[in-house]
Structure 1
């Protein structure tokens, strides 16, 4: 089942923008575009608000509408006692926080006091993911697990360079050089990664050359290689190169 099918109760004029903005958040996050990811989060909030408001009233707007006072408008949604609890309390209380990241965390305004960063983008992505799953759960009357599976499939199709499984990651371009693969795998992984996992994910067989390349990248300050060679962590220069490479590929 697709998200399109699961959300057919939502009019096309709202459903299509919702899917487009969610996919934009996922794609920009995967490509380390923290600022666009957060900007999409703001648009995503406006669309979700319009859907909740239309659901409560029984009549949907033909397109997303931004209320004049977003916080207050979300607060008023809490008066809708006839809708599911998540539509009355949880999502209306989450949306203002998500919208705040777009407005007052350095996103969308020059000279913000806090620059857009990975931490904010993680919040936008995880919040958007939860909201999407809850919309699917309510509108299609499925379990939380089924709803999350449906949303996860939508996210997976928006990551052209990288596939992430339970214990495996794969760069989907078989022609990509080993150095680039290492940087991309490290920049999209949280914290230190075992070098045995890196070699396995890259599908590389020559252990001697792989270790030699890791040491070279360590000396170039692209990665931080543990003294025993057991783990690797990407450093800012390596992260910058990976981000630029992703941007060129997209």
Structure 2
């Protein structure tokens, strides 16, 4: 999560709760992309503890201190009883119900699997991380002191996939796998950029010098395999490309 997102949240909600929310969000996302699906759901529960307290703050002006027992059902009931002219439906209904689903998965889902042979951790973690993205985006949208344009940019950034094997140095994306081939590098970088994709000059800049001369040919090959989509100078990863990155374990650094 970017510092701008943290700053927007911190301007509207208690800083301690924002710190807890951001820390658990980042851990949940990192665990998910590293394959730690059960841990991702656990962090989702921790995220909910912070988000429920933020809801308390929004609807009542105060919140249960961190470390004290939290009555989540009471938070949901109080939020639902708020007058519609005072709080939007997102605060009264959508966010509380979304958090309830994630919270219940953390607390009881492992005991409720249909069969010992069916591992639901991946599907649970996929749901959890998607809900976390949505809740953070809603909290940003509801924040004070941010223009609609700024909020939209932050929300778009939230759906950018976090990739442990790529480190961000301002405008430069560095692959932390020196052994990685040019085609795999392209896929990982585009996976990291999400729906935004990347311009050809950006990809060229992020490649080692020895790989730059073959980049155009590599892009044509990946496009022919439907792993990327090339439109003029813009390149985006496809669903098939995303699955390739995940299934081959390309997200991790050495």
**Normalised-by-shorter TM-score class:** 0.5 to 0.7
Runs of at least 5 residues in structure 2 that lack an aligned partner in the other structure: 193-202, 219-223, 228-239
Secondary structure of the corresponding residue to residue 59 of structure 1: coil
In structure 1, which of residues 52, 63, 68 is the aligned counterpart of residue 66 of structure 2?
63
Deviation (angstroms), 1:176 = 3.0
> Does the C-alpha gap of structure 1 residues 171 and 49 become closer, same or farther in structure 2, counting only changes over 3 Å?
same
Counterparts of 2:66 and 2:97 in 1: how far apart (Å)? Answer: 22
1:37 pairs with 2:40: yes
Counterparts of 1:101 and 1:113 in 2: how far apart (Å)? Answer: 16
For residue 26 of structure 1, what is the aligned residue in structure 2? 29
Q: How does 1:138-153 map to 2 (within 5 A)?
A: 138-140=142-144, 142=146, 146-153=150-157
Counterparts of 2:79 and 2:58 in 1: how far apart (Å)? Answer: 11
For residue 121 of structure 2, what is the aligned residue in structure 1? 116
Give the count of matched residue pairs. Answer: 215
Counterparts of 1:54 and 1:172 in 2: how far apart (Å)? Answer: 41
In structure 1, which of residues 11, 14, 20 is the aligned counterpart of residue 14 of structure 2?
11
For residue 2 of structure 1, what is the aligned residue in structure 2? 4
> Does the C-alpha gap of structure 1 residues 114 and 100 become closer, same or farther in structure 2, counting only changes over 3 Å?
farther
> Does the C-alpha gap of structure 1 residues 31 and 148 become closer, same or farther in structure 2, counting only changes over 3 Å?
farther
1:242 pairs with 2:249: yes
Q: How does 1:84-233 map to 2 (within 5 A)?
A: 84-106=88-110, 114-117=119-122, 119-140=123-144, 142=146, 146-153=150-157, 159-162=163-166, 172-173=175-176, 175-178=178-181, 181=184, 185=188, 230=225
Q: Residues 106 and 113 of structure 1 are in contact (CA less than 8 Å); yes or no, is this contact kept in structure 2?
A: no
Q: Residues 137 and 143 of structure 1 are in contact (CA less than 8 Å); yes or no, is this contact kept in structure 2?
A: no
Q: Residues 8 and 146 of structure 2 are in contact (CA less than 8 Å); yes or no, is this contact kept in structure 1?
A: no
Deviation (angstroms), 1:60 = 3.2
Runs of at least 5 residues in structure 1 that lack an aligned partner in the other structure: 165-169, 190-199, 211-228
Q: Give the TM-score normalised by the residue count of structure 2.
A: 0.62
CA RMSD of aligned residues (A): 4.4
Deviation (angstroms), 1:43 = 1.0
Counterparts of 2:90 and 2:75 in 1: how far apart (Å)? Answer: 16
Counterparts of 1:47 and 1:87 in 2: how far apart (Å)? Answer: 15
Q: Give the TM-score normalised by the residue count of structure 1.
A: 0.63
Deviation (angstroms), 1:136 = 1.2
Counterparts of 1:11 and 1:154 in 2: how far apart (Å)? Answer: 21
> Per-residue displacement from partner, 1:2-37 (whole Å, max 9, x unpaired)?
123212221222111011111112222222221111
For residue 199 of structure 2, what is the aligned residue in structure 1? none
> Does the C-alpha gap of structure 1 residues 93 and 112 become closer, same or farther in structure 2, counting only changes over 3 Å?
farther
